[in-house]
Amino acid sequence: MKSENNQQLNQTQLPYHEDEIDLRELFSILWKGKWVIIGVTFIFAIASVGYALYLPNEYKATAVLQPNESGSGGKLASLAGQFGGLASMAGINLGAGESSDAVIAMEIMKSWGFAEEFINKHNIAVELFAAKGWDQSKKKLIIDDDLYNEATETWVREAPKGKTVEPSSWELFEEFKERLSISQDKDTGLVSVSVTHYSPEIAKEWVDMLTEDINKLMKDRALEEANQNIQYLEEQFKSTSYAELRAMFSELIQEQHKSKMLAQVSDEYVFKAVSVAKVPEEKDKPKRSIIVILGILLGSIFSTLIIMLKAFYQKD
């Protein structure tokens, strides 16, 4: 009886042992296929080296900017606390809880509308969309002849379905946002504006133009808003006889005049340069060593899978 139970137990355990992974057998399979693994990995390594060398260098220029919050935000916040009730009754928003000019400016710089205006204003569509490299010896941008003919100054690309030969505003924006990076340090509040391009000189030039354009845009917006506010507040001041409301309107008018004056005084309305952009001397990408390492890893994994699948089907 006992021998029968042992026999049944061994029979039930047999499939389990057959399905176990034998590490020695696995090592033996891999050892037999070592030349295949070495060969495939070598091919992947050579291919990754070739691909890494084929990719052109790209350079990153960065400017570090300090948000300029010297406007009337602090004073308006205090006025909001003092006259908030009266202002809401009069239908006036004193701006409590609104985002700072710097935050608004950063979002504008990332927007499609700003990118479109920036590209058209500075006529950089070719440098943005058709560039494929940088000739360091000649200090000249290399243009892709399949996209743009420099001799005739016309676009010659084979347009994708539904697109025109000339890149659309959306296509240019997609390319532009890939090259633009805007971030703010949470601790210091400083803003970094970076541009990556094949040409180190163009990268630096675009950072300078971006900083100048956003400052001018925010300055013009502030002046226009201040003029509109002054006109509205003066009308409200004349139309009311309540002393408290007249005092509030008078304070607000003074603050709007101060905001207008500050906007007119400085060209660095929203961002002050802490560290201006420089022409980069070293590439930012591609990371060729990482590309080669990933190629070798991919080759070894792929070749190992081939050997294992081959051994599995031969066993079956």
The pLDDT of residue 10 is above 80 = no
Instruction: Please write the tens of the pLDDT for every residue from 256-279.
Output: 788 788 777 778 889 999 999 999
Give Cα separations from 64 to 3, 51, 176, 218, 275 (angstroms). 83, 34, 20, 18, 5
66 in the same domain as 83: yes
Q: Yes or no: say if 230 and 93 are a contact pair by the CB < 8 Å rule.
A: no
Q: How many domains does the chain have?
A: 2
Domain harbouring 175, CATH code:
3.30.1890
Q: What pLDDT is attached to residue 279? A: 94
The pLDDT of residue 114 is above 80 = yes
238 in the same domain as 209: yes
Q: In this structure, is residue 3 part of a structural domain?
A: no
pTM: 0.75
Report for 13-22, 136-145, 165-174, 219-228: range of highest mean pLDDT:
165-174
Q: In this structure, is residue 46 part of a structural domain?
A: yes
- Whole-number Å distance between alpha carbons of 113 and 177: 12
Instruction: Please write the tens of the pLDDT for every residue from 276-291.
Output: 999 999 999 888 899 9
119 in the same domain as 226: yes
The pLDDT of residue 80 is above 50 = no
Q: What pLDDT is attached to residue 77? A: 47
Q: In this structure, is residue 5 part of a structural domain?
A: no
110 in the same domain as 199: yes
258 in the same domain as 164: yes
Q: In this structure, is residue 1 part of a structural domain?
A: no
Give Cα separations from 259 to 7, 185, 193, 229 (angstroms). 95, 27, 26, 11
Q: In this structure, is residue 301 part of a structural domain?
A: yes
Report for 192-206, 221-235, 238-252: range of highest mean pLDDT:
192-206
101 in the same domain as 126: yes
Q: What pLDDT is attached to residue 92? A: 53
Instruction: Please write the tens of the pLDDT for every residue from 133-191.
Output: 999 888 899 999 999 999 999 999 998 888 899 999 999 999 999 999 999 999 999 99
33 in the same domain as 166: no
Q: In this structure, is residue 214 part of a structural domain?
A: yes
The Cβ of residue 311 has, within 10 Å, a number of other Cβ atoms equal to: 17
Q: What pLDDT is attached to residue 136? A: 87
Kindly report which listed range (90-94, 148-152, 183-187, 305-309) carries the lowest average pLDDT score. Answer: 90-94
- Whole-number Å distance between alpha carbons of 65 and 241: 46
Which structural domain, as residue segments, surrounds residue 239? 59-285
Q: In this structure, is residue 2 part of a structural domain?
A: no
304 in the same domain as 202: no
264 in the same domain as 141: yes
Average pLDDT, the chain: 83
Cα angle 191, 285, 179 (rounded to 5 degrees) comes to: 45
Closest CA to 276 of 120, 68, 65: 65
The pLDDT of residue 82 is above 60 = no
Q: What pLDDT is attached to residue 197? A: 96
- Using a pLDDT cut of 90, give the percent of the chain over it: 50
Q: What pLDDT is attached to residue 70? A: 55
Q: In this structure, is residue 4 part of a structural domain?
A: no
The identity of residue 315, as a single letter, is K
The pLDDT of residue 201 is above 70 = yes
48 in the same domain as 197: no
Q: What pLDDT is attached to residue 14? A: 45
Closest CA to 141 of 128, 154, 123: 128
94 in the same domain as 37: no
303 in the same domain as 210: no
The pLDDT of residue 19 is above 70 = no
Mean pLDDT, range 82-100, rounded to an integer: 53
